[in-house]
Structure 1
Amino acid sequence: MIQNPDLPEVIPVFPLPGALLLPRARLPLHLFEPRYLQMLDDCLKTPGRLIGMIQPQPQPDTAAEDTPSALQRIGCVGRVTQFSETEDGRYMITLAGLSRFRLIEEVDGFTPYRRARVSWDGFGRDLGPTEHDTDFDRERFLTLLAQFFDAEELQTDWESLKEADDELLINSLSMLLGFEPEDKQALLEAPSLSTRRETLVTLMEFTLRGGSNDEILQ
């Protein structure tokens, strides 16, 4: 069990479809809804300055518009490390990923934002040192990535990608590439850097096949 005073049992949670935060990575966010501005204000008054990022589950067609979405069972908490206010009262913040968590239950209260009781069990690796992918074939991976970027008409700084360490490269791509929310959740829940890289490769190959099971044309 993780023993860390900065990881409390109850945290504010920010449900945001498609947003992925990973341990030791950084996620910029733009806050403008009053409830999330209140969340940030309350967060900055706490020693840990923690916000839990978690994805909502898809709403059934029969759900009322004001019905809160059910939440995925696993999210990732981050510490607010930077924030700045715009002239019209919005905030730009940066979350530094600390650890994944498992949602136990939502907590009722008087805050306009959602809070949850969470468990940190099983995620001790997240608080450890940078992970390495010992089976990482970087040349083959970058070749596939180039095919993917070309197909999606994306641009990047290839020199920076080539020089990035394994974890930074794999986690940054997992967070930035525009996969579906359920795919982002699979990347979040990957138990190790190697399995996240394998999941990322599968998703890129699937996209290159046009969503079919046919072999990729070489």
Structure 2
Amino acid sequence: MPINAEYRGPSDLPEIIPVFPLPGALLLPRGQMPLNIFEPRYLAMVDDAFRDGHRLIGMIQPDVSHSPDEAHPKLFHVGCVGRITQLAESGDGRYVLELTGIARFKIVEEPKVLTQYRQCKVDYFPYIDDFAARKGEEAVDREALLKALTEFLDANNLKVDWEGIENAPNEALVNALAMMSPYGPPEKQAMLEAPDLKTRAEILIAVTEMDLAKKRTSNDSGLQ
């Protein structure tokens, strides 16, 4: 994880952070998320993150299923703050950056601000274990996870770097697969809010198995 700053606990992070609502986007602690920033309000958000010195952005999903206001949608209560660890200018007004996840947070309130982008007062203490790398990874059923991954790859005619997967620690493996998974906002939010790595892996396996079962049922129906 390429990062210069050290975050040992909630006191190392600001209480109010800029947030970037993005459906289907899942950032997890120590995971890397690429972002292509082009909207003026979010370009300003990146500039301000560097100007303020913290380089932090809170990734969170809009809860569109319970929000009639498309311009200012309701947010899920839990997100993950990340630090900008890579940034490049595209030459056409965009920023291409990478966020490295630090810790999850729970929204306390959304204050009124003068910025075009949204900001939230957040609490990191419910997820204090996020600051400890690889915590609880020994409880992950790696065999079941790899079995589900193999079946998913076979069903979708996909290939993967198995050497990289075999060498990855359980935390990196579970979080990377969760972040890259093709599932919708509710499933992504469930994986984000999982109380521990073991539960996150179990949710990922369950969602994958349900997806595969639906595909098998659909294929069987098509043959009749």
Q: Please give the TM-score of this superposition, normalised by the length of structure 1.
A: 0.90
Number of corresponding residues: 209
Q: Are 2:10 and 2:125, in contact at CA under 8 Å, matched by a contact in 1? A: no
How far the C-alpha of 1:212 sits from its partner, in A, is 9.3
Deviation at 1:133, TM superposition (A): 2.6
Q: Partner of 1:87: helix, strand, or coil?
A: coil
Corresponding position of 1:208: 212
Aligned ranges 1:101-120 → 2 under 5 Å = 101-120=105-124
| Long gaps (5+) in structure 2 | 1-8, 218-224
- Partner of 2:182 in structure 1? 178
Instruction: Give me the TM-score of the superposition, normalised by structure 2.
Output: 0.87
Aligned 8 A contact 2:66 2:74 in 1: no
Higher helix share: 2
Equivalents in 2 of 1:130, 1:196: separation in Å? 13
Alignment partner, residue 10 of structure 1: 16
- Once the two structures are TM-superposed, the CA of residue 136 in structure 1 deviates from its matched residue by 3.2
SS of 2:177 mapped into structure 1: helix
- Following TM superposition, the consecutive aligned residue runs of length 4 or more in structure 1 with deviations greater than 6 angstroms are none
1:50 aligns with 2:25: no
**Structure 1 gaps, min length 5:** 214-218
**Partner SS, residue 108 of structure 1:** coil
**Residues 97/65 of structure 1: CA separation in 2 closer, same or farther (3 Å cut):** closer
Query: Is residue 142 of structure 2 the alignment partner of residue 138 of structure 1?
Result: yes
1:101-147 deviation line (CA, Å, top 9, x unaligned): 00011121111101111111211101113224324343342222111
Q: Does 1:166 align with 2:173?
A: no
User: How far, CA to CA, are the matches of 1:180 and 1:64 in structure 2?
Assistant: 20
Which is worse superposed, 131-140 or 74-83?
A: 131-140
Distance in 1 of aligned mates of 2:139 and 2:107: 32
